[in-house]
Amino acid sequence: MLRSANTSSTASLAPLRWGILGTGKIARTFAKALSRSAMSETVAVASRDPAKARTFAAVEEIPEPAESYAAMLENPRVDIVYIATPHTTHLDRTREALRAGKHVLCEKPLGMSLRDVELMTACARQHKRFLMEAFHYRCHPQTAVLKAKLQAGLIGKPRIIDADFSFYADFIPEDRLFNPRLGGGAILDVGCYPMSFARMVAGVVSGKPFAEPSNLLATGYRGTTGVDERAVAILQFPQQLCAEISCSTRFQRTQRAIVIGEEGSLSLTEPWGPRGGGTQTQLIFTPNRGTPEVINIPIDRSLFTYEADHVAAVIAGGALESPCMDWGDSAGNARALDLWQAAIPRHGSSHQTRGS
């Protein structure tokens, strides 16, 4: 629970005190975002190697580098742990933090499978601690505006979702993107975004926070380490809505999220959250007749600072789940990702599977 600075009713809330677990790429990005959050304070960082924690702490100006992951979990000044380690470690690190009485923001994908996610959410429920899968774009004003425009009927009834998250990475077999022992694969690394987006938009259409596909057709290709490097899926949802989603770790950056309705389309110019800073981002509304219209969305924080502030506000309110990405939503995404991964043939030939 976020602590109150004093007991008077006008007391301002003390910042949420974060411990960062892991010192890799995203840990650095998040540490910088936390330093700009008025609702947060980073008190500790932990690494498998205490020297790395000390270096990270010096660069990011974090007061307490821990001797180990376990030592940071014993630190009573840490309210919440940000898990920034490879996917395969999320289950164990999250449960250790929850059992130590910490809230947890865990990087996506929350678990390697639906089973992992169920174990993690059961642990959060048992220990009465906040847990959220770190889908930053869900906490961003862009997503709120998109949902409001869809709810207001701007494009009429949504019928098609077209979403992709692809990027080119050099093939390094031991890198977590390609190493099966570290949870490699495009679906888990970036396919989780278009999947979560499609389920969120389907939820808007159904008047719910999210909706599950009734059918999933998918295929893709694995690389030499055996993990998927590109994948596509077609999802069928209630209300005549379907989605075409794709992802890759080996092909040029094409990031896309478009919702097409009976009266026009809404396209996100920076679909997975504006990363470049700036003071605004845009949705493009293209009506079936007439000229496209730019919808400007003012922004005053970075993508990750919005996420940190959202987490602090939810915890201050006493909730264990985020309304932007609750436990049922994470479980549904994991179930759909399980089906998508199972559809990727072992040896190149195309294949399809039927969903729930």
* Binding interface with ligand NAP (CB under 6 A): 22-27, 47-49, 52, 84-87, 89, 107-108, 134, 136, 176, 182, 189
Q: What is the C-alpha to C-alpha distance for residues 62 and 19, in angstroms, rounded to an integer?
A: 9
Fill in the DSSP letter of residue 3.
Answer: P
Q: Which residue is nearest to ligand NAP (CB)?
A: 24
Nearer to ligand NAP, 86 or 191 (CB): 86
Structure tokens at 79: 């309210």
Q: 3-class DSSP state for residue 249? A: coil
Quote the tokens at residue 339: 């089906």
| Smallest separation (angstroms) from ligand NAP to the CB of 256 | 17
Which amino acid, one-letter code, is at 74?
E
**Considering beta carbons, is residue 108 or 199 the nearer one to ligand NAP?**
108
Cβ at position 264, least distance to ligand NAP in Å: 30
Output the smallest distance, CB 230 to ligand NAP, in A.
17
Rounded to an integer, what distance in angstroms lies between the CA atom of residue 248 and that of residue 254? Answer: 9
What is the rounded distance in angstroms from the CA atom of residue 259 to the CA atom of residue 150?
A: 9
How far apart are the C-alpha atoms of 104 and 110, rounded to whole Å? 11
Q: Which of 102, 108, 147, 157 is catalytic?
A: 108
Q: Which is nearer to ligand NAP, 320 or 325 (CB)?
A: 325
Give the span between the Cα atoms of 248 and 329, in whole angstroms: 23
Nearest residue (CB) to ligand NAP, 162 versus 307: 307
Minimum distance, C-beta of residue 336 to ligand NAP, in the bound complex (Å): 17
On whether the CB atoms of residues 35 and 14 are closer than 8 A, the answer is: no
Which letter, b or e, does each residue of 326-337 get, where b requires 16 or more Cβ atoms within 10 Å of its Cβ? bbebbbbbbbbb
Distance CA 95, CA 98 (A): 5
- Decide whether 121 or 179 has the Cβ nearer to ligand NAP: 179
Would you say 22 or 220 has its CB closer to ligand NAP? 22
Query: Is 102 known to be catalytic?
Result: no
Strand, coil or helix: what is 239? coil
Q: Give which of 54, 51, 45, 104 is closest to 75, Cα–Cα.
A: 45
Q: Which residue has the tokens 């395969």?
A: 88
Which residues are known catalytic residues?
Answer: 108
